[in-house]
Structure 1
Amino acid sequence: MTALHYLTATEMARLVRTRQVSAVELLRACLDRIEQVNPRVNAIVTLAAEQALDAAKAADAAEPAGPLHGVPVAHKDLVDTAGLRTTYGSPLFAEHVPGTDAPIVRRLKAAGAISLGKTNTPEFGTGSHTVNEVFGATRNPYDLSRSAGGSSGGAAAALASGMVPLADGSDMGGSLRNPASFCNVVGLRPTPGRVPAPSETSAWYTLSVLGPMARTVEDVTLMMSVISGFDPRSPYSITERFAADPEEGVAGLRVAWSPDLGGLPVDQATAAVTATAPGVFERLGAHVEQVDLDLSDAEEAFRVYRAWHYALSFGDLRGLGPNTAWNVEQGRQVTGADLARAERLRSGLYQRMADFFDGYDVLIAPVSQVPPFPVEHPYVSEINGVELPDYLAWMRSAYWISVLHAPAASVPAGFTPEGLPVGVQIVARPFADARVLRAARAFEQATGYGTRRPPL
C-alpha cells in the first residue's frame, strides 16, 4: 500500500470526502514525513503545524465543501500568507508577516485545502537554483549533493520527498518547470492570465506567472481547476474557466520535436533522456516530426523585459543579494529604445509561432539544458564545453518559451545513468493549457517515471 504521505491529492480528497481517512490523519502523515526528511532536504522553511492542525480538525468536523477538502498544500515563500512568515528569500524580510493572504492562497483555502507551510526560494525568486541567506540551500531528494532547481525548488523537493501532495509555484524564466524537471515532479507554467496575480506595481507584466506543482498530471489539473479563473484586479485575467480536455490520449495529435530549440547546447545525458520522448508519442499514435526552430529573438526580449521588471520592483531596496542586485542594475540601463525593440522582437516571434502552431498541436523539447548540478555551485557556467556569459544563460531552453505567452509543462521523462531526474517540456499555443496537460498525462501514464521515489 502507498504510504499516506505519498498518496496523490486526488486520492486524498476522495478518502476524506468518503470519510475513509481524516484530514488530521493526512496532515499528521505529512508532518511526520517533514520531520523525517526535511532536515536533510531543506524544502519547508516555515511550518504552520498548529494552525494547520486546527484547520484539519475543522475540516473533519464539517461537510466537504470543496475539491481539495482536507488536502495539505504548501506555498512558495514569495506568496503572502496571513499571519505566517513570508520572507521572499531575502534577509530584508526575514521576519516579515503579511496581514492578508495572496489570492492564490485564498482560492486554495476556499477549496478546502489545509495550508501547511512555506517552501524555499532564492531571493525574490531570482534564479533557477534555490539558495538564499535566510534559509540556505534546498537539496535534491534524488541526490542530496545536487541542486533542486529553482526558483520553486523548495516546492519541487517537498513534493518529491512526500512532504506535501500539492504546492504552488511561480515562473518567469522556468521557475516552475526547471525544479519539476530536476525533482521528477510535474510543473505547469499556465498561459499568462490563467491564474490571476494582481499587482500594485507591475499589473501588466506577462512574463511572470503563478502555477501548480504536484507529483501527477491529474493533481496539477485538479489544482488548476481551483486556482484559475477571472479576477477583476488582474487586467489580463482570462475570463474563461479552466477545464480539463475531454479528449483522452494523443492519437492523431501533431507533435513537433526540437532536441535543442534551435541550436542551444544540451548536456549529453539530458539529451539522451529527452530523445526518448518522441518515440513514446509515436507509440501512442501521435504524428511526430523533428523541426528546426529559431527562437533566438526571445533572448533579447526576455532579458530586456526581465531587467526592466527588476528595476521597477526592487530598485528602491538596499542590501539586495548579488543576483537580484545585478538584475536591478541591468534594468536601470534599459532605455525606451530597448523596450521598443524588445516589443517588436516579441511581437514578431509571437506571430511566427502562431503560424507554427497552425501546423502542430504541441511542441516537445528539453526543459533544462543540464541535469541537476552540484548544490555548492551558484549556477551552470558551461555546457558541453560552451562557456556561458552569466548565471541566466543556462536556462534559455525555459525562458525562451516564457516569451511565447504559451502554456508549458515539465513532466518526468527519465533518469541519467547517475539516477538524476530529467523532464520533457510540452508546449502548446497560448490558451491551450488543457491540451498541454492532456499530452502530459498520456506521456506520464505511458512511461511511469514519476512513480520512482527518491532514496531518502
Structure 2
Amino acid sequence: MEFLEWDAVELSGALAAGRLSAVEVMQATLARIEAVNGAVNAVVSLRDADDLLAEARAADAAPRQGWLHGIPMAIKDLAHAKGLPTSQGSPLFAGRIAQQDDIAVARLRAAGALIIGKTNTPEFGLGSHTFNPVHGATHNPYDLDRSAGGSSGGAAAALAARMLCLADGSDMMGSLRNPAGWNNVYGMRPTWGTVPGDPAGDLFLHQLSTLGPMARSPRDLAALRDVKRGADPRLPLSAEWADCATGLTGDLPKQRIGWLGDWDGAFPCAPGIIELSEAALQQMAELGHAVAPMAPPFDADAMWESWTTLRSFAVAASLGAIYDDPARREHLKPAAQWEVARGQGFSATDIQRASSIRSNWFRAAMQAFETVDVLVLPSAQVWPFDVGAVHPTEINGSAMDSYHRWMQVVVPASLIGLPVVNIPAGFDARGLPLGLQLIGKRGSDARLLQLAEDWHRATGLPQAFPPKL
C-alpha cells in the first residue's frame, strides 16, 4: 500500500480527515509484516491479527485521542507494554507478561497509538548488535547478511522495511543512533530527563540511558518526542522541556557546525566512514550552514575510563542479583557477566573519579558550544558487519579490547546526557548506510531537529532509497 511509505504525520492527517481508516492501515501493516518480517526478524511477540483489527475498528468508531490515533506501533522489548511479554532478549524473562505500561508506553496509548507487538533487542540491550537466544538476530534490510545495529535494531529495521512508520527506542551507548544510521532512518536521543523512564529502583545514581523516538523524517521524530516528553513527579531528575514539532515549519535557521572527525585518531574508523561523513557535511555547507573542523575538546581516554566505569556500575546494579545467583548467572551472556563483575569490583573512590571526569567533560563541552551550535561525529566507527558475528574485534588493525569499544564514538554525548539526532548520511559502494550524530548542548533538542529537517528537505534519503526486500 502506498500509504506505508508516508510519514506518520501525513498518515495521521489522512486518518483524521477520513481518507483512510485505522482498519485499512492495520490490514496493510499486518500484510507487510507477514511479507518481510520473516527475513528481517524485527517485530517480535506480534499480537493476534483478529484482536488488532478489532482494536482498529474500535479506533475508527471512537473520537480521536491524539495525533497517533489509529497508528500501529511496536514497543522495544526492554519496555513494558501491558499484556505483552517483556523478554529483554533473555531466556530468564521469556514469556513474562507485563502487568502495566511503562510511562512512555502509556503516553503513546493515550495519544491513540495501537500497540501491535514488540521490536527485537540484544539481551538486556547490551551491545550494538541485535541478537538474543529468545528471538534470534535482526537482519539489516539493506543487506540481510548484516547486522541492523542495536540495541534498537528491531525498531530501526522495522522502520526501514516499512513495517512501521514510527518506532519506540532507547539509548545508553548509541542504541538509537547506530541502528538509525545503519538503517537509513532518523533516531533521537533527547536531552537526558526529557522522556521519563520507569520509576523503579534507584532514581538518582544511574543517569546514562534515555528513551527516545525513531522515524523516517525529523517531523515525525519531533512529534513522537513531544508525545513522550514531560516530567513525572515520581522521577526527581525528569525535566520539563518544550515541544519541538512546531518549530519545523517555514524557514529554518542556519547553524554553526563543528566537525570532530575521528577525534584526532582516538576513534579508529573503517575505510570510507570519514570520507562519506565529510561529503555529507559538504552538502550541509552548500545549504548555508557554517561547517568547520574542530579540535577534540577533551581527552578521549579519560572519557572512556569514566564511561566504562559508570556503565559497568549501572549494569551491576540492574543485573547484580541475577549474577549473584549461580543457577541464573549462566543464562547471562558473557558481555553481561563481564560488565557486572567489573561493576561490583569498583570502590567508592573509583566511582567518584569517574564522576569527576564526567563533570570536567561537561564543563569542556559547554565551552565548545560557545563557538558552535552543533558538534558532529559519525554514528558508528564501522559499517554494518556480519549478522552472525558477536561484535567487531578490530578496526584498521586496532584491536577492540571490549565488546563495545567499536562504539566509542557515541560516548561523548552519552556520558553527559546531551541531545543527539542521528541523520542518514548516505551509502557506500556496497549500498550500506551510514549516519551522522548531530550533538547539541543540553536543551537544544529543537535546534537539532531544525538542522535535521533542513537536511531532510534537501536529501530525503529514507524516502529516496528504501531497501529492496
Pair 1:370-2:382 in alignment: yes
Deviation of the 1:449 alpha carbon: 1.7
Runs of 4+ residues deviating >4 angstroms = 247-251
Deviation of the 1:436 alpha carbon: 1.0
Deviation of the 1:382 alpha carbon: 0.9
Q: Which residue of 2 aligns with 1:13?
A: 12
Q: Which residue of 2 aligns with 1:215?
A: 216
TM-score by length of 1: 0.97
The correspondence for 2:346, drawn from 334, 344, 350, is 334
Letter in 2 for 1:325: Q
Identity of aligned residues (%): 43
Deviations 1:112-171 (A, max 9, x none): 111111000011101100000001100000000000000000000000000011111110
Change (3 A) 1:250 1:295: farther
Q: Which residue of 2 aligns with 1:243?
A: 244
Alignment of 1:304-323 (within 5 A): 304-317=309-322, 318=328, 319-323=331-335
| Residues in 2 aligned to 1:414 and 1:354: alpha-carbon distance in whole angstroms | 30
Deviations 1:314-351 (A, max 9, x none): 11112212221111111111111110100110000000
Is the Cα–Cα contact under 8 Å of residues 422 and 438 in structure 2 kept in the other structure?
yes
Q: Which residue of 2 aligns with 1:360?
A: 372
Pair 1:276-2:279 in alignment: yes
Query: What secondary structure sits across from 2:370 in the alignment?
Result: helix
139-148 or 54-63: bigger deviation:
54-63
| Residues in 2 aligned to 1:116 and 1:249: alpha-carbon distance in whole angstroms | 37
Letter in 2 for 1:307: S
| Residues in 2 aligned to 1:261 and 1:162: alpha-carbon distance in whole angstroms | 35
Query: What secondary structure sits across from 2:117 in the alignment?
Result: strand
Deviation of the 1:97 alpha carbon: 0.2
Query: What secondary structure sits across from 1:349 in the alignment?
Result: helix
Aligned-pair Cα RMSD in Å: 1.4
Is the Cα–Cα contact under 8 Å of residues 229 and 240 in structure 1 kept in the other structure?
yes
Pair 1:455-2:441 in alignment: no
Q: Which residue of 2 aligns with 1:224?
A: 225
Letter in 1 for 2:283: V
172-181 or 47-56: bigger deviation:
47-56
| Residues in 1 aligned to 2:292 and 2:129: alpha-carbon distance in whole angstroms | 33
Deviation of the 1:61 alpha carbon: 0.1
| Residues in 1 aligned to 2:452 and 2:83: alpha-carbon distance in whole angstroms | 36
Change (3 A) 1:106 1:50: farther
Q: Which residue of 1 aligns with 2:80?
A: 80
Letter in 2 for 1:415: F
Letter in 1 for 2:177: R
Change (3 A) 1:433 1:245: farther
Is the Cα–Cα contact under 8 Å of residues 7 and 217 in structure 2 kept in the other structure?
yes
Is the Cα–Cα contact under 8 Å of residues 91 and 134 in structure 2 kept in the other structure?
yes
Deviation of the 1:446 alpha carbon: 1.3
Deviations 1:72-91 (A, max 9, x none): 11100001011111101100
Pair 1:117-2:113 in alignment: no
Letter in 1 for 2:4: H
Deviation of the 1:250 alpha carbon: 5.5
Is the Cα–Cα contact under 8 Å of residues 59 and 70 in structure 2 kept in the other structure?
yes
| Residues in 1 aligned to 2:9 and 2:224: alpha-carbon distance in whole angstroms | 9
Is the Cα–Cα contact under 8 Å of residues 23 and 70 in structure 1 kept in the other structure?
yes
Deviation of the 1:261 alpha carbon: 2.7
Pair 1:445-2:457 in alignment: yes
Is the Cα–Cα contact under 8 Å of residues 142 and 183 in structure 1 kept in the other structure?
yes
Q: Which residue of 2 aligns with 1:254?
A: 256
Letter in 2 for 1:374: D
59-68 or 176-185: bigger deviation:
59-68
Is the Cα–Cα contact under 8 Å of residues 256 and 289 in structure 2 kept in the other structure?
yes
| Residues in 2 aligned to 1:309 and 1:14: alpha-carbon distance in whole angstroms | 42
Letter in 2 for 1:284: L
45-54 or 22-31: bigger deviation:
45-54
Q: Which residue of 1 aligns with 2:325?
A: none
Is the Cα–Cα contact under 8 Å of residues 181 and 422 in structure 1 kept in the other structure?
yes
Deviations 1:231-276 (A, max 9, x none): 1111111123333363756654111111113421111122221111
Is the Cα–Cα contact under 8 Å of residues 241 and 443 in structure 2 kept in the other structure?
no
Q: Which residue of 1 aligns with 2:269?
A: 266
Is the Cα–Cα contact under 8 Å of residues 81 and 98 in structure 1 kept in the other structure?
yes
Structure 1 unaligned spans of 5+:
none
Deviations 1:176-223 (A, max 9, x none): 101001111110011111001133223222211000011111111110
| Residues in 1 aligned to 2:313 and 2:231: alpha-carbon distance in whole angstroms | 27
Letter in 1 for 2:35: Q
| Residues in 1 aligned to 2:133 and 2:88: alpha-carbon distance in whole angstroms | 11
Is the Cα–Cα contact under 8 Å of residues 316 and 340 in structure 2 kept in the other structure?
yes
| Residues in 1 aligned to 2:165 and 2:207: alpha-carbon distance in whole angstroms | 28
Deviations 1:8-41 (A, max 9, x none): 1111100100000001111111110000000000
Pair 1:379-2:382 in alignment: no
Alignment of 1:278-297 (within 5 A): 278-293=281-296, 294-296=298-300, 297=302
